[in-house]
Structure 1
């Protein structure tokens, strides 16, 4: 495979331990530039020199889907004995919630919530599992310009710390020169080794020439594309410029739906998705597609293909007028995914002119990135320059093509000011939109290539980028407090502060919500609506409710505590005023007051027959290990099983790079880091060697009819088939099974201190290991019970040390603490972080997260293996 010079430069920098800030034109191979260093390292199979896991983070799930497909094709070309396992983890496709894959394509929300210890994909007790995955991986952050403001600040703050250990690429086609250079300075001042790689105008031209020169010529219109206030639109203009592939991008769903109707009225014909494909066929194709992606099957087996062919044939056979279709965020998954597949096949790189029906696509921001398609003509509303240029990347995208881009002014508001919604939430954003429009006007009638794009970006975005960088300094303490609250305390509210401010949006479903309590309807597919739109629509909804004689229009979900512990009751309460909307994040609209179809999507406040209700969301069933079923294991057998999993799976190779980097920042040898890991494994269940735990096990085994003989070794797991009968017996045994994780950490302390810290003096390495042991079942365990170890506990530990080989040879099991009447767990844990924490504190936490991830995975997988 022949790489471009800049792609080679990126690989060389990362190979030498330097992270990269990358700017390259749309279509110049940024994805390959980011992934090639990882694939090259995989091919060399030297796990100490580069991470053995890569997490590719994008701002939108559609990008994750696209890159997943592209990368699977790329990986098939490798000649290594084993190929990296590629997975996807998004809210829509939660196929790798534990981040087990070798290359994981995921969204920004998933990566950041995992790194912050408040993951969307895992329960609270397991929330420390994925932090180490992110810390121990090669990180790619793509399309940085599309990150929410909160996430941009958080990513940059975190990279100032973890970027000193973890290699990364941060990239987009639309960095301003100011942002690129000042991010580099910010990171370097924090001790991060990082370089900028910007494709020069000469190389950009060479890339374009090598792939046959493509050309986009920009034209600036005088009147808005669509003006709902005045009822004007440019439908005839769109039809006049249309040949076969026209893309129209507007800024809001409402304007997209109105433009669709305007084109129908002007003579275009809507693609009849509802009549060409049944709901059952959509659902079956979606189910098959998600299951195929989960299993990593070859991309040639595309379950959407028969449906796409059916629609294509219909469009070609009835070509009396141009076809028109809508694509926006308020379609159900099955319809949105089908439309994306249809466009990829008709407008993608493998399509041919002869196979293409004449189509006009009306879309919103969902097409800016992630869809590898090429239109002949683009019509776009004015927006921030970065967004406009990303939209332009869907026009004349392939070698030798020539395209036209028409940019229209924003429609006026009632006060005469341009309406840039949703891009004008702040003064800074509105001013960026105004500068973008002014900058674009200078290029009327001109070809806009990469140098011109960069000039437009610099003129439009520099001031907003400077404001972002200024906020990093101004809000540094606030951001680090949020990070510490997430990592140490697990406060999930920090997601809004640090990842994405969702307060401005509400999820709404079309549902006949009952008056009485019910099971939560979270399984239904909802639509996200801005709170401002709901405020504007509430009066019309209430009026329509009264006209139709309905009992209610809009209801909000309220959660109340039940009589039993951990019981929650769900009630639907009426929404009558705007104040009722403020604290409501999950809403139901009466089925008679909303409409939905595969052609237009969801419409709020439209009188209907009430036949539509929001669909039940399909989720593929992952093969989860059944941790309810256990084999009877002696303590040393359990440790032997975990060591086998560590060595046979990818986990030891993945830890190799982390061990090298941790040794460097902790100031210890690699051997010491490896010993920390193996001692964590060997001692993690020492708390089960208590008298009462073993007594419980003896009674339990007797009651299920498989008693232990008198001199049986001390056990780590009793036998269970996972049945309710066995679970009931386990709960009924007295004395109750005592807790063991924190107790084992305290009991192991003297042994760990002597082995790891005797020459260091402060017990810091032992504290890291104790924290991993104490929290290997509950991520934020803070309590410990009095304990008394079994007399044969030291012997059990001695036998277990043989399972970890050389790392246990010098361990003195007689140092095990046999009893403690009033232990304080905090005396054995690493210090909690705060915004003023030193590097030493953070490196201790990073080491803990890396240890506890490997421990928890090998612990669970040792049972899955059996």
Structure 2
């Protein structure tokens, strides 16, 4: 690959090209110094970046610019071909994704959150905007939005991607922050497989410098010269006033003038204030509510209103927005008056970024004490001591004007010592923390997300009168709810003596099969449960959200089905031969995965002292061999019997990979994955060049249908070895017939007596290099396997054309 050194002039030209569509004059913007430094660090020096910049400085453009330039210059730049943009809140993901779509037609932009699943496998988007929950759970093989059998499919996207972590200061220091640091250190420092940019407006300088040293990254800060050129910092004033009383509807109405934003810590408080303000209905003022418990269409409707009423080009209508911390970050909105509760210092500074945001504006922020009279822990989701520290600081500087420098002073005063303590804790407990990560990679237990990602325990709620009894249930939208709130609801039903046992159910898996269990008490409710509630017990009110204990008028009501773009595709298997399926998988890999993984293949090649072509050859090998277990006589016999039920005239000599179904339902066959892995393992060892990767190959094939596999299942001899040999020769694995028979005989002798091969799987805690190779390989295999059904007809047509051509050639001979 040809590499170019980007001069300062070239960087400026390319940045202007990227921003042309954002400039009304279509000239593009000149990059600020910090934006140029990011491009230089990534594309000229091959360095990762930690960026400190204020709200509205152009951090998003800065972070995306190296990726844009690499796409623009194509093969001239050695850089990842996919970017994962990770954010702490899903509302932020939606708004930034919309902005990225405007920037360029060079990339496809997708959003992947628990609610909006445009790209559940992180495959369709060149830039995927996602949440920290989605990104980390996927990397840890405990994906929150996928069923257990797909646990290992998304981790392999981390190697070889350009990872952008925005609002990094909002990560849980005891969980997601530590997990992210451990993963970046492993993938970026120890293996050099991944590139990243970390961005923050409110992390203390001490912790930024520590992170830069630990992660071998460049620490870039906005300079005074940059600040003087950032329009959002021009001639604006933001005054902060503290109050010793609690925030109320009367306070909101009294302080409201034109554009008012109210931000509170908890959904219940936001809902209560909204209803109270609506009851008084301020004159000529629209009031609306935004929080995390709204369905997708309504949430999008509210977000459109935000741009209309609070954006830079806002109208003159009077409006009050009452919201939770979902509006703290990423939303390009402003207000002349803000009312908020005390929260942590980083949270407070994010909130006031939505007041007097744009050039030349003036605003007032009123901050209110928390009402803890009901014992409801009103400081949550923040730590109580952090909230109290913020309150003391702000009371001491009451009536002060807050700009970027004042915000930095606040952060450094309140957070520097705490950040140092956090880092010391990370170093002290890193061994224990890694053991928890190892448990996640071993058992794929989603419950560990509470220790590794967030401590906010929650369940997914679906209201449905007649829910489907299979995986079609996942096609419906859900609303995330704190587990304590759900338990309180059930507890109240029990106290009232209400009959609910068949009206509240949770999804469980028994092996690979889905089932529904009645919830009879609070002990039946577990973290991350998927819970179905009958509409006679709960409802959804427009402009308010999910309501427990208020029945629907329509007992057949259900939450809407997700739009097509958000549905995880479920493939209906149709008959294809073994040879057709393997060739279709190979074509799917070339069409879907090959170009996207060039940077990754190069990285793994350097890690294992191979070439990119070697890595590609190994991928071809696992694709050809992944279904070799289906060549057992037992599997083929059952498959043929099934196919004959669907088509009695079917040729019984054909080797099958999948069958038609006489009743349209999927057919259960003997497990073939482990047997296929064992067969492949024996043949892979023939090429001594790749011996050290045997465990990764074995593990990938064994786990290509599920992250957790059973013991080896095998009865009887193998069929179709000539077909297997032919397919191997197509990809350049030329194995002599006698050698192949000998290796398979030896391997199958061992398999006859050894049913448990788990001691030969690759494990993260034993050898992370081999484990990440396994995760990369299994991702390519599973995606190629899934997408192969799109290419079967093409393979058949090509085969038919080849046969016709051969017959013509034979006729010409005579």
Fold-level similarity (TM above 0.5): yes
* Secondary structure, aligned partner of 1:808: coil
Change (3 A) 1:518 1:466: same
In structure 1, the residue matched to 2:726 is: 799
In structure 2, the residue matched to 1:406 is: 366
2:562 aligned with 1:619? yes
2:610 aligned with 1:642? no
Change (3 A) 1:464 1:826: farther
In structure 2, the residue matched to 1:681 is: 623
In structure 1, the residue matched to 2:214 is: 186
- Aligned residue among 658, 663, 680 for 1:724: 663
* Secondary structure, aligned partner of 1:850: helix
Contact map agreement 1:64 1:106 (CA 8 A) in 2: yes
In structure 2, the residue matched to 1:282 is: none
- Aligned residue among 749, 753, 763 for 2:685: 753
* Secondary structure, aligned partner of 1:724: coil
Residues 275-294 of structure 1, C-alpha deviations (whole Å, 9 max, x = no match): xxxxxxxxxxxxxxxxxxxx
| TM-score normalised per structure 2 | 0.81
Rounded to whole Å, the distance in 2 between the matches of 1:379 and 1:769 is 57
In structure 2, the residue matched to 1:84 is: 107
In structure 1, the residue matched to 2:270 is: 256
- Aligned residue among 150, 162, 185 for 1:126: 150
2:763 aligned with 1:833? yes
* Secondary structure, aligned partner of 1:618: coil
Shift of 1:673: 2.1
- Aligned residue among 193, 197, 201 for 1:169: 197
Residues 131-186 of structure 1, C-alpha deviations (whole Å, 9 max, x = no match): 11222321112222222342222112222212232111222211111221222233
- Aligned residue among 34, 50, 58 for 2:63: 34
Contact map agreement 1:420 1:433 (CA 8 A) in 2: no
Rounded to whole Å, the distance in 2 between the matches of 1:374 and 1:462 is 29
Rounded to whole Å, the distance in 2 between the matches of 1:530 and 1:452 is 38
Change (3 A) 1:256 1:497: same
Rounded to whole Å, the distance in 2 between the matches of 1:349 and 1:695 is 68
2:380 aligned with 1:422? yes
In structure 2, the residue matched to 1:9 is: 37
Shift of 1:72: 0.9
Unaligned ranges ≥5, structure 2: 1-15, 17-29, 793-814
Contact map agreement 1:384 1:423 (CA 8 A) in 2: no
Residues 681-703 of structure 1, C-alpha deviations (whole Å, 9 max, x = no match): 23223333334445555655555
Residues 748-796 of structure 1, C-alpha deviations (whole Å, 9 max, x = no match): 3333112144xx7xx3222222222222223232522446654751x32
Contact map agreement 1:556 1:584 (CA 8 A) in 2: no
Rounded to whole Å, the distance in 2 between the matches of 1:690 and 1:592 is 52
Change (3 A) 1:264 1:537: farther
Rounded to whole Å, the distance in 2 between the matches of 1:584 and 1:106 is 19
In structure 2, the residue matched to 1:98 is: 121
Rounded to whole Å, the distance in 1 between the matches of 2:778 and 2:273 is 54
Rounded to whole Å, the distance in 2 between the matches of 1:219 and 1:61 is 28
Contact map agreement 1:742 1:825 (CA 8 A) in 2: no
- Aligned residue among 151, 156, 159 for 1:135: 159
Rounded to whole Å, the distance in 2 between the matches of 1:618 and 1:144 is 33
2:684 aligned with 1:773? no
Shift of 1:7: 1.7
Which structure 2 residues correspond to residues 212-251 of structure 1 after superposition, within 5 A? 213-226=234-247, 233=248, 235=250, 238-239=252-253, 241-251=255-265
- Aligned residue among 151, 176, 197 for 2:176: 151
Which structure 2 residues correspond to residues 730-749 of structure 1 after superposition, within 5 A? 739-749=671-681
Rounded to whole Å, the distance in 2 between the matches of 1:472 and 1:194 is 19
Rounded to whole Å, the distance in 1 between the matches of 2:510 and 2:782 is 34
Rounded to whole Å, the distance in 2 between the matches of 1:683 and 1:509 is 41
Which structure 2 residues correspond to residues 461-540 of structure 1 after superposition, within 5 A? 461-503=415-457, 525-526=478-479, 528-529=481-482, 531=484
Contact map agreement 1:788 1:818 (CA 8 A) in 2: no
Contact map agreement 1:151 1:499 (CA 8 A) in 2: yes
Which stretch has the larger CA shift, 321-330 or 464-473?
A: 321-330
Rounded to whole Å, the distance in 2 between the matches of 1:327 and 1:726 is 42
Change (3 A) 1:463 1:532: farther
Rounded to whole Å, the distance in 2 between the matches of 1:765 and 1:542 is 56
Rounded to whole Å, the distance in 1 between the matches of 2:103 and 2:755 is 49
Shift of 1:12: 2.0
In structure 1, the residue matched to 2:27 is: none
Rounded to whole Å, the distance in 2 between the matches of 1:50 and 1:593 is 53
Contact map agreement 1:126 1:778 (CA 8 A) in 2: yes
Contact map agreement 2:643 2:660 (CA 8 A) in 1: no
In structure 2, the residue matched to 1:327 is: 290
Contact map agreement 1:216 1:447 (CA 8 A) in 2: yes
Shift of 1:347: 1.7
2:497 aligned with 1:570? no
2:808 aligned with 1:853? no
Residues 514-538 of structure 1, C-alpha deviations (whole Å, 9 max, x = no match): 9xx9999996855625738976997
- Aligned residue among 78, 81, 92 for 1:63: 92
Q: Say what the alpha-carbon RMSD is for the aligned residues.
A: 4.0
Shift of 1:842: 0.6
Shift of 1:73: 0.8
* Secondary structure, aligned partner of 1:668: coil
Rounded to whole Å, the distance in 2 between the matches of 1:113 and 1:811 is 44
Rounded to whole Å, the distance in 1 between the matches of 2:694 and 2:55 is 50
Shift of 1:584: 11
Shift of 1:641: 2.9
Contact map agreement 1:746 1:825 (CA 8 A) in 2: no
In structure 2, the residue matched to 1:448 is: 402
- Aligned residue among 278, 301, 323 for 1:363: 323
Contact map agreement 1:552 1:590 (CA 8 A) in 2: no
Change (3 A) 1:201 1:611: farther
Change (3 A) 1:263 1:788: closer
Rounded to whole Å, the distance in 2 between the matches of 1:356 and 1:50 is 46
Shift of 1:661: 0.9
Change (3 A) 1:687 1:396: same
Rounded to whole Å, the distance in 1 between the matches of 2:211 and 2:482 is 33
Shift of 1:596: 6.5
Shift of 1:368: 0.8
Contact map agreement 1:216 1:405 (CA 8 A) in 2: no
Rounded to whole Å, the distance in 1 between the matches of 2:710 and 2:466 is 41
Change (3 A) 1:40 1:263: same
In structure 2, the residue matched to 1:705 is: 648
2:309 aligned with 1:346? yes
Which stretch has the larger CA shift, 49-58 or 610-619?
A: 610-619
Rounded to whole Å, the distance in 2 between the matches of 1:644 and 1:42 is 24
Unaligned ranges ≥5, structure 1: 77-82, 188-192, 227-232, 270-319, 732-736
In structure 2, the residue matched to 1:160 is: 185
In structure 2, the residue matched to 1:316 is: none
Contact map agreement 2:460 2:528 (CA 8 A) in 1: no
In structure 1, the residue matched to 2:594 is: 652
Residues 368-417 of structure 1, C-alpha deviations (whole Å, 9 max, x = no match): 124321112212222111111111111122233222223334446489xx
Contact map agreement 2:587 2:791 (CA 8 A) in 1: no
Change (3 A) 1:140 1:848: same
In structure 1, the residue matched to 2:577 is: 633
Shift of 1:707: 3.6
Shift of 1:846: 0.8
